[in-house]
Structure 1
Amino acid sequence: MTLPSLTAEPDVGAGDPAPAERPDTVRAGRSPGGRRTTARERLEIVAFVSPALVLLGLFVVWPVLSAVRMSLYRWRGFGPMDDFVGLDNYRRVLTDDVFTQAVTHNLVIVVLSIAIQLPLGLAVALLLNRRMRGRGVVRTLIFVPYVLAEVIAGVIWFQLMIPDTGVVDGLLGGVGVTPPDQGFLGTPGLALWAVMAVLTWKYLGLAILLLLAGLQSVPEEVYEAAQLDGASWWQTQRRIVVPLLGPTIRTWCFLSMIGSLQLFDMVWVLTGGGPANATTTMATYLVTQGTQRGNYGIAGAASVVLFVIGVVMAALYQRLVLRRDTEDAR
């Protein structure tokens, strides 16, 4: 005699697929473990996230919306904002030759920063990664300029580059080189290069620090395997180590691009955007239009354009670079 089964079997037809549910699927209102989240837990999540959202709204969203609103009016900085001009301020900004020069200068600074600081930083990082006497002291000295505030660094180099009496002109005169009459910062054809030299001195330490950290994260087994294969030091660095630094290099390039777009303090202290707009950047342009000329609507439009450029660059980095690095790490 056969006893009936105490467990009811599901009635599944031969042609019906068995119901399946992904184990990693989280239903609404449930925790990843399948337990329904309580109202108290949801309240705790909101309490932890709210301060960050409030700060984001106060220091990012609200200023951006204020700049967008300002860009739609002709406003001198005082009185009611009631002279609505629509997109006319954007037209004036995008057709202004000075703004075009400012965008060009920012792009030149971006390209030169990467082209100069990356090979120099990589070369110095490779040297400092080797065992040598006084390596810690050299690292500290190289990183000191980056620690200085941009205003302080700008004042120091402005004093060094004063025409005739500055240290730079004195050193050049001592080796038989005649400096320009107006100085490097006062000559339109040389001012941007002088600013670029100061920027390299200021930020080269950051490139060296990041690249050196990347070099020290390379496993020792990689070097040992390269030695067993008979690779020289140069071949090891070029074909093995440097390719492993790809994510670090791309991260530094992104930081350099964003920093170049935000460049203001150094240029303002050294040249004020001159001479003859030879060193004007987007940041100095909008400050000049707003605080010096009282064209706050144009300044707002320029700031919105600068914000859009930064967002586009960040989105491209997220889509083309960061996503690939994440996929490679899996």
Structure 2
Amino acid sequence: MPQDTTSLSQGKAQTSWFSRNNQGGRLWTLLLFLPPALCLFTLFVVVPLFEASFFSFYRWNGIGELNNYLGLQNYSKVIGHSAFHTAIGNTLKIVAVSLLIQLPLALSVALCVYKQSWANTVFRLIFFLPYILAEVVAGLIWKFIYDGNYGVVNMFTEFFGLENYFILGDKQWAFAAILIVIIWKYFGFHMMIFIAALQGVPNDLVEAAKIDGATRLQTTFLIKIPLIKHAIILSMFFSILGALQLFDLIIPLTNGGPSHSSHSIVSYLYTFGISRMRIGFGSAIGVLLFIACVVFAFTYQNAFMKDKK
């Protein structure tokens, strides 16, 4: 009898623990969806990451056995490569342009069109359309626009009687042309984030500020922008992380040229690693990029996105 009583009490304790943690069916949902997600994450993220870390210590073309161990030579070659330095500089330029031009532009447009009206809805759609386009399609469109023989640039040069100018073939201006495309392509995404945040600003505060005599600029900078600080921080996070991973726009526009002057870190990895069948070298670049992304993500979240009580 004592043993039966003990088993019964343990069963009741387990049942009560399950019922406490299964409020609203959350535990069943966790047990149903978490294992497949973990399996997919392990298969497509964790395993390739460990494989890339392993390959980065070898000279390997992706075919045959791994028998040419190099140690850290791939990493030293990457760090000492001038094209890699250019790619890092270009990535920092993307970050700077995104934070100093793209986000302020998106916020300015959001402040103009965040109120509910049919006209604002039309403008939101127009501004958001570039983001809907696939990156490769957008790159090909802008490559035609920049074309010195048949594009829009050619129309201007002919109108002013100038010689044909190929901006994507100019080492000094090719990456500047890419930055224009980046601003055009992604500012609509950040605009929609800001619009969603602005629509959550209480109208009572805005009306109270107007009654107190606050101007439109004062209302914007002292009430609206401080109240959407969380959205601005989130957009900055997306901008920087996106800059570290930019690839799809550069390949159709310049393929990293001319003279490897317009590479991002990922396009550099593709050109010098995958395209040239230098899997070990490319793996070293991928590991360095992964470390940079992880360090940035954790540092940024701890500094700006951590809940402060």
What is the TM-score with the length of structure 2 in the denominator?
0.88
Q: Is the 8 A contact 2:149 2:164 kept in 1?
A: no
Correspondence for 1:237 among 190, 197, 220: 220
Once structures 1 and 2 are overlaid, which stretch shifts more, 129-138 or 73-82? Answer: 129-138
Matching residue of 1:55: 40
Q: What's the CA shift for 1:48?
A: 3.8
Aligned residue identity for 2:291 = V
Matching residue of 1:271: 254
Secondary structure in 1 matching 2:249: helix
Q: What's the CA shift for 1:159?
A: 1.0
Secondary structure in 2 matching 1:84: coil
1:102-154 Cα shifts (integer Å, max 9, x gaps):
11111111111111111111111111135766221111111110000000001
Secondary structure in 2 matching 1:302: helix
1:237-288 Cα shifts (integer Å, max 9, x gaps):
0111111121101100100111111111100010000001110111111111
CA distance in 2, matches of 1:247, 1:234: 20
CA distance in 1, matches of 2:28, 2:120: 52
- Higher alpha-carbon Rg: 1
Classify 1:97/1:44 alpha carbon distance in 2 versus 1 (closer, same or farther; 3 Å).
Answer: same
Secondary structure in 2 matching 1:107: helix
What is the correspondence of 1:60-75 to structure 2 with a 5 Å cutoff?
A: 60-75=45-60
Correspondence for 2:291 among 285, 308, 311: 308
CA distance in 2, matches of 1:314, 1:284: 21
CA distance in 2, matches of 1:131, 1:293: 52
Secondary structure in 1 matching 2:206: helix
Q: What's the CA shift for 1:36?
A: 3.7
Correspondence for 1:118 among 99, 103, 111: 103
CA distance in 1, matches of 2:163, 2:235: 34
Structure 1 regions of 5+ residues with no counterpart?
1-29
Secondary structure in 1 matching 2:213: coil
Classify 1:180/1:305 alpha carbon distance in 2 versus 1 (closer, same or farther; 3 Å).
Answer: farther
Q: Would you say 1:166 and 2:147 are equivalent positions?
A: no
Q: Would you say 1:141 and 2:126 are equivalent positions?
A: yes
CA distance in 1, matches of 2:221, 2:154: 39
1:31-90 Cα shifts (integer Å, max 9, x gaps):
8xx93449xx88985554211110110111011111101101110121111211111111
Q: Would you say 1:223 and 2:223 are equivalent positions?
A: no
Structure 2 regions of 5+ residues with no counterpart?
1-12
Secondary structure in 2 matching 1:188: coil
Alpha-carbon RMSD: 2.2
Aligned residue identity for 1:35 = S
CA distance in 2, matches of 1:179, 1:256: 37
Across the two proteins, how many residue pairs are aligned to each other? 291
Matching residue of 2:73: 88
